Amino acid sequence: MAEFLGINLFGLFGQLLVGLINGSFYALLSLGLAIIFGLLKIINFAQGAIYMLGAFLAYLALQYLGISYWAALIVVPLVVGLLGILMERFLIRPIANEDHLYSLLLTFGVALVLQGLFTHLFGSSGMSYPIPEAFSGGIKLPFMYLPNYRAWIVVASLVVCVGTWWMIEKTKLGAYLRAGTENPALMQAFGINVPLMVTLTFGFGVALAGFAGVMAAPVYSVSPDMGSNLLIVVFAIVVIGGMGSIGGAIITGLGMGIVEGLTKYFYPEASNTVIFLVMVIVLLIKPAGLFGKEA
């Protein structure tokens, strides 16, 4: 029945869906990285650990405070964003004038501390987070079974990504942000509080990772190293896409998720490495990245 040119459509669509879901998380994380990079010119190595933190906070909130998934979806990004603001204000700003490699090392240190802390507290085995009731069950499509929660992940991340893109590219606030990316000194001269903007931007970029963490909690097991492995893949994606454009980060993230899904179906042995191989090819052909501007 579900065969076409010798391809098992059931399996293919299943893997495509998994790819699309992974791609949603890639997009959310690389979007956060790109926004932070735009203003601060640093890469937040702690982005993966913060994604992990988001998932754990959602888990703990449900377990000990009875805070539901829906509330966590709002509260956790706020809490995580606040932590990001404190991190920018007290750790990153003091060394803002040093070589940017130092701030990279600093965020790496933060990532180690967070991951070490959660490994120590909860061990390295994963916890499971129940799928919210509104999304239990799924829809039967002609070629596949689509669990409701998975559909929700794709829709919700798309909404958040497109919303962020719209805010940055189309609103006045976004115009400030883009101007700050181009020339922060001139912005300051026009009377705009650039340091405050930098802090809030960092908070927002980090909050996106927290949001992704809450979204991920019901589908992946909540474990201390869930973020670090993901982050390295996201780095490869950032190199593939280049950090020149917000839209580019979103498209590359989703696209690479799909590429990974397809590889899982056609040649599963390479599914872990395919994104890195794509990075190698992009480095050979267009070193600045698909959407990169710099030489």
- The footprint of other proteins (CB under 8 A) covers 37, 41-43, 91, 94-95, 98, 100-106, 108-117, 119-120, 228, 232-233, 235-236, 238-239, 269, 272-273, 276-277, 279-280, 283-284, 287
Nearer to other proteins, 119 or 193 (CB): 119
To other proteins, the closest distance from the beta carbon of 7 in angstroms equals 25
CB of 208 to other proteins, least distance (A): 18
Residues paired with 222 in a beta bridge:
127
Q: Are 240 and 290 in contact (CB under 8 A)?
A: yes
Residues 235, 178, 89, 204, CA torsion sign: negative
Contacts with 250 (C-beta within 8 Å, 6 or more apart), sequence order: 27, 30, 31, 161, 162, 165
Nearer to other proteins, 165 or 276 (CB): 276
| Residue 249 C-beta: closest distance to other proteins, Å | 14
Measured from the CB of residue 41, what is the shortest distance to other proteins in angstroms? 8
Q: In angstroms, what is the minimal distance from the CB of 247 to other proteins?
A: 19
Tokens 């839209």: give the residue.
Answer: 247
Which residue lies nearer to other proteins by CB, 12 or 238? 238
List for the chain the helix, strand, coil content (%; round to 5): 75, 5, 20
Cα torsion for 115, 96, 241, 291, to the nearest 10°?
A: 170
Residue 93 or 178: which CB sits closer to other proteins? 93
Give me 190's structure tokens.
């026009």
> In the bound complex, what is the minimum distance in angstroms from residue 124's beta carbon to other proteins?
11
Cα(195)–Cα(188) distance, rounded to whole angstroms?
Answer: 9
- Pull the structure tokens for residue 208: 């996106």
For other proteins, the closer of residues 7 and 280 by Cβ is 280
Task: For other proteins, give the closer residue by CB, 67 or 288.
Answer: 288
What is the C-alpha to C-alpha distance for residues 38 and 197, in angstroms, rounded to an integer? 12
Residue 260 near residue 22, CB atoms below 8 Å: yes
